[in-house]
Every structure is written in C-alpha cells, then in structure tokens.
Amino acid sequence: MFEDWSLEILLETEPRSEYRLTRAGASVKIIFAEKAETQCLSTAAASMLCKYLREGLMRRFNAYWQRMMPDLQPTAGYHPDGVRFLKDIASKRAEMGIKDEMLVRSR
C-alpha cells in the first residue's frame, strides 16, 4: 500500500507502535496504540461513531433474519452468541446457500 514511501520505525512496544512514512518531502506519522481513545479525541470520536454504526447494522442484520424466522432471537454478533446464532439459522442458511465464510470474520 505504501510501496513508494520510505519507512522509519520510531517506536515498537507491546502497547504502542509509531512509524514515519516519507515521500517527496511529505511526512506522515502512523500510530497504533492500545486504548488510543483515551489518548486522542479524534480516535475516541471515530470509535464512538463505529460502535454506533455497528449497532445500527446489527439491528438491520437481525431484522433481515427475523423476517424469515420470526421466533429467532437476535444477536449482537460477538463470538459466544454468534455461534448460537449461526446454529439457529443453519437450516435457513443451507436452504439459501449461505456459507459460514460469508458471515464469520476471519483474521
């Protein structure tokens, strides 16, 4: 993604890593940090927005499945309940040809 940028490692620790990318006189600093929302207002705002959007999308996701399976209990999508949800919709997913890979995040 940054092939034509030079990379300088400023800091690499378990909770925080900092890098500087440089190209044609321009410089960009990239920081990866645990709990970054406690250190940076814009990161906190972005985190809140993403959580809000995720909740809205999960409501739509649940509504979609509940239209086909009215007695289905909704899910927040996190692992333990997500496993339950996948089992609950297994027959409908098979009928529709929807494989786990289409619904389960893989890192």
Whether 49 and 30 map to the same domain: the answer is no
How high is the pLDDT of residue 107? 76
Q: What percent of the chain shows pLDDT beyond 70?
A: 100
Specify if 101 maps to a domain: no
Whether 50 and 29 map to the same domain: the answer is no
Whether 42 and 88 map to the same domain: the answer is yes
Q: What is the tally of structural domains in the chain?
A: 2
- Structural domain boundaries enclosing 28: 6-34
Strand partners, 16: 33
Nearest-5° angle of CA 98, CA 102, CA 104?
A: 120
Interval 75-100 mean pLDDT: 94
Res. 21: pLDDT tops 90: yes
* Whole-structure pTM value: 0.71
Specify if 87 maps to a domain: yes
State how far the Cα of 102 lies from the Cα of 63, in Å rounded to an integer. Answer: 18
